[in-house]
Copies of this chain bind each other. A is one copy, B any other.
């Protein structure tokens, strides 16, 4: 990082898509200004920086905006490569493809499943979304087995792209468990994921930005479910 690099991140403390960018920036050892947005009253800077979607997170590097969290993660990885910290994405093209495949799965399928649990009003719809979430986690248990090569993380010995992508949903999944009463992480079904979680939340660059279940729960009650 050049001495003149100016890095800004527009997000909120509980947004999973902003959390992952903060973890990646921390892991790369990059200093940045974190500008907390009020999503009910978006800043001029946000509207100007992401005119297409008007959504957080937005990463601004020397005045140039990058939007969409998976795009931002890859930008950070490619722009600050060859440093002393490991890359987020694996180097092997096939392993990179697997990481990208599962990242899209997490943000499309897993996200809509657990969000569906929170938003469901009928019991049968809720049960369906809980089952979908559990099935998604089971697939990610298999992916962890395939990607980690017996090590702690999807990225191997240190956290990588998939760890950051799934890890940013973790506190929300735990909040969904608490609010719905459903057991999403059963140790007979996802034993590796439970081990992974322990290691993941113990990493410094993760736990320094991870909100509490109570904080997320409060947000769900006051914003997401408020009419």
Q: Which residue of A66, A79, A97, A105 has the most chain B CB atoms within 10 A of its CB atom? A: A97
Chain A 70-90 near chain B by CB (<8 Å), digits 1 or 0: 111011001100000000000
A→B interface (CB under 8 Å):
52, 61, 64, 66-68, 70-72, 74-75, 78-79, 93-94, 96-97, 100-101, 104-105, 139
Nearest 10 A-B pairs (CB), nearest first?
A: A75-B97, A78-B93, A79-B93, A71-B100, A66-B97, A71-B101, A71-B97, A68-B101, A75-B93, A68-B104
Q: Can you offer 8 A-B residue contacts whose CB atoms are under 8 A?
A: A61-B94, A64-B94, A66-B94, A66-B101, A68-B101, A71-B100, A74-B100, A75-B97
Q: Which residue of A72, A78, A96, A101 has the most chain B CB atoms within 10 A of its CB atom? A: A101
Q: Which residue of A64, A68, A139 has the most chain B CB atoms within 10 A of its CB atom? A: A68
Set of chain B residues within 8 Å of A70, measured between Cβ atoms? 100, 104
Set of chain B residues within 8 Å of A75, measured between Cβ atoms? 93-94, 96-97
